[in-house]
């Protein structure tokens, strides 16, 4: 049987063996409810969660008490939008966001349209938000700017620090969906003036079903009303029994991404760049979607470390989104069943509709429907990339 190759790591990732090992005791030995404060089983779970909270907070330079655990970035984003609306129910509020946000942000705003005003800012043909357009969109009742850190389809990285400064100047809360950026880019909530941040564990080799919402609760402008009520867990923001094994796994995944940041970053770039340049050399009709591919040599000559380099790139190091000049992507994927890639955002791949992100880049339908996203993982090998180049090459030659 031919070997299956997984290159859909922007959709989800394979759980790291060390992460799984860290989680296991919390299924079978330390299985108490973290809210059970009367006995050792509850104490053990609570201690594990609080240690995890510190680890995760440190990774984004936040305070541990400002980390709220959720089921993932989708819940976090909905919690933020709905919570802010409820908090501001006595007055009309305005939110600014972009065309290329994750569907959960855009849908949450549209579903709550009777209770909220919002402006959707266009992006450049490379998928970067226009900062001046954000400035011009600010109103007296603007309470939130929400801009994705790094796009889940095309990998484009927005100027988060500059947007944070604008929000700070106007006393507006700033939120970023960092689900794709966490573990791959340097994130500092103070340096970037971030008030809210969402993330998911399963994007960084952790378990599914757990994520976070960072809330800078030291500022009066950043208050939300809880969506769920009950036991008052997570400082009353998100009631419900905590997913202890998942939280432990999330922290371990974060810790490993921090420890291996240097190695992973350059590996992502090396494998991604080799894949892209090998394909473009053979098939000049291929079009790159999103920002340019960075040169590894240039980055290493300009910056002293991977972490420093990650502050200056404009595309996720593991992302490649390309169009095959009218060759249907779904047809390509059916012909290369042993390689897992994506033709668009994974959570909407079961629907035959054009990607709203690629539409925002003003691509033609021909290019949109012939696009494929490759998501490189740190567990991928050069042999797998070579096999991918070979199989795509053989298949593409049938069309030319």
pLDDT of residue 230: 84
Which CATH architecture group holds 17-257? 3-Layer(aba) Sandwich (3.40)
Domain positions in the chain: 5-14+260-399, 17-257
pLDDT at 352: 63
3-state secondary structure the chain: CCCCEECECCCCCCCCHHHHHHHCHHHHCCCCCCCCCCCHHHHHHHHHHHHHHHHHHHHCCCCHHHEEEECCHHHHHHHHHHHHHHHCCCCCCEEEEECCCCHHHHHHHHHCHHHCEEEEECECCCCCECHHHHHHHCCCCEEEEECCCECCCCCEECCHHHHHHHHHHCCCEEEEECCCCECCECCCCCCCCCCEEEEEHHHCCCCCCCEEEEECCCCCCCCCCCCCCCCCCCCCCCCCCCCHHHHHHHHHHHHHHHHCHHHHHHHHHHHHHHHHHHHHHHCCCCEECCCCCCCHHHHHHHCCCHHHHHCCCCECCCEEEEECCCCCHHHHHHHCCCEECECCCHHHCCCCCCCHHHHHCCCCHHHHCCEEEEECCCCCCHHHHHHHHHHHHHHHHHHC
pLDDT value at residue 221 = 54
Contact 214, 65 (CB under 8 A): no
Model pLDDT, residue 220: 53
- Written as six digits, the tokens of 182 are 């966490």
Distance CA 254, CA 267 (A): 18
Bridge-based pairing of strands 67-70 and 211-215 is antiparallel
Q: Residue 199's closest CA among 348, 344, 45, 74?
A: 74
> Which of 368, 292, 359, 274 lies closest to 323, judged by CA?
368
The two beta strands, 371-375 and 319-323, are: antiparallel
Q: Which of 146, 190, 184, 134 is nearest to 311 (CA)?
A: 184
CATH code that applies to domain 5-14+260-399: 3.90.1150.10
Catalytic (active site) residue 222: no
Check residue 345 and give its pLDDT.
40
Q: Which of these is catalytic: 104, 167, 222, 347?
A: 347
Return the half-sphere exposure (C-beta side, CA atoms, 13 A cut-off) of residue 71: 9
pLDDT at 346 (0 to 100): 43
What's the rounded Cα separation, in Å, for the pair 97 and 121?
6
Report CA-CA distances (Å) from 161 to 153, 154, 222, 253.
Answer: 21, 20, 18, 25
What are the tens digits of pLDDT across the range 309-367? 999 999 999 999 999 998 999 999 999 999 999 985 444 445 568 899 999 999 999 99
CA 106 to chain centroid, in Å, comes to 15
Taking the C-alpha atoms of residue 120 and residue 132, their distance in angstroms, rounded to an integer, is 13
Measured at the CA of 106, the angle between CA 293 and CA 185, to 5 degrees, comes to 35
Q: Cα–chain-centroid distance for residue 132?
A: 24
Quote the pTM value: 0.94
- Per-residue tens of pLDDT for the chain, all 400 residues: 678 999 999 999 999 999 999 999 999 999 998 888 899 888 899 999 999 999 999 999 999 999 999 999 999 999 999 887 776 667 778 999 999 999 999 999 998 887 889 999 999 999 999 999 999 999 999 999 999 999 999 999 999 999 999 999 999 999 999 999 999 999 999 999 999 999 999 999 999 999 999 999 865 555 777 777 888 888 888 889 899 999 999 999 999 999 999 999 999 999 999 999 999 999 999 999 999 999 999 999 999 999 999 999 999 999 999 999 989 999 999 999 999 999 854 444 455 688 999 999 999 999 999 999 999 999 999 999 999 999 999 999 998 8
Rg (CA), the chain: 21
- Picking from 169, 120, 182, 126, the residue whose alpha carbon sits closest to that of residue 147 is 120
């Amino acid at each position: 049987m031919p070997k299956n190759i997984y290159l859909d790591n922007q959709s989800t990732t394979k759980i790291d063996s060390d992460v799984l090992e860290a989680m296991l005791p919390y299924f079978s030995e330390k299985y108490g409810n973290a809210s059970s404060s009367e006995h050792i089983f509850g104490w053990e779970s609570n201690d594990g969660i609080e240690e995890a909270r510190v680890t995760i907070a440190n990774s984004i330079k936040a305070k541990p008490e400002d980390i709220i655990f959720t089921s993932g970035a989708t819940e976090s984003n909905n919690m933020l939008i709905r919570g802010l609306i409820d908090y501001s129910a006595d007055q009309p509020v305005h939110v600014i966001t972009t065309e290329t946000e994750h569907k959960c942000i855009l849908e949450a705003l549209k579903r709550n349209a009777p209770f909220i005003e919002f402006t959707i800012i266009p992006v450049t043909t490379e998928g970067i938000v226009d900062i001046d357009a954000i400035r011009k969109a600010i109103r007296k009742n603007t309470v939130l700017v929400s801009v994705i850190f790094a796009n889940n389809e095309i990998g484009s990285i927005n100027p988060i620090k500059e947007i944070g400064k604008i929000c700070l100047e106007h006393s507006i809360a700033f939120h970023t969906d960092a689900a794709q950026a966490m573990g791959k880019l340097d994130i500092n909530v103070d340096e970037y003036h971030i008030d809210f941040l969402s993330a998911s564990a399963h994007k960084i080799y952790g378990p599914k079903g757990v994520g976070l919402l960072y809330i800078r609760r030291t500022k009066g402008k950043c208050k939300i009303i809880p969506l769920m009520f009950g036991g008052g867990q997570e400082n009353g923001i998100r009631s419900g029994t905590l997913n202890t094994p998942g939280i432990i796994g999330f922290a371990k995944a974060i810790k490993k991404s921090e420890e291996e940041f240097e190695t992973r970053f350059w590996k992502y770039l090396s494998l991604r760049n080799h894949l892209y340049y090998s394909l473009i050399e053979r098939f000049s009709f291929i079009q790159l979607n999103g920002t340019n591919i960075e040169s590894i040599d240039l980055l290493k000559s300009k910056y002293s470390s991977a972490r420093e380099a990650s502050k200056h790139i404009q595309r996720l190091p593991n992302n490649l989104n390309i169009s095959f000049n009218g060759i249907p992507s779904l047809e390509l994927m059916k012909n290369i069943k042993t390689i897992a890639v994506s033709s668009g955002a994974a959570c909407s791949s079961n629907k035959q509709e054009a990607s709203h992100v690629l539409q925002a880049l003003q691509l033609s339908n021909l290019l949109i429907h012939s696009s494929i996203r490759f998501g490189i993982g740190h567990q991928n090998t050069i042999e797998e990339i070579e096999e991918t180049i070979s199989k795509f090459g053989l298949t593409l030659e049938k069309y030319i």
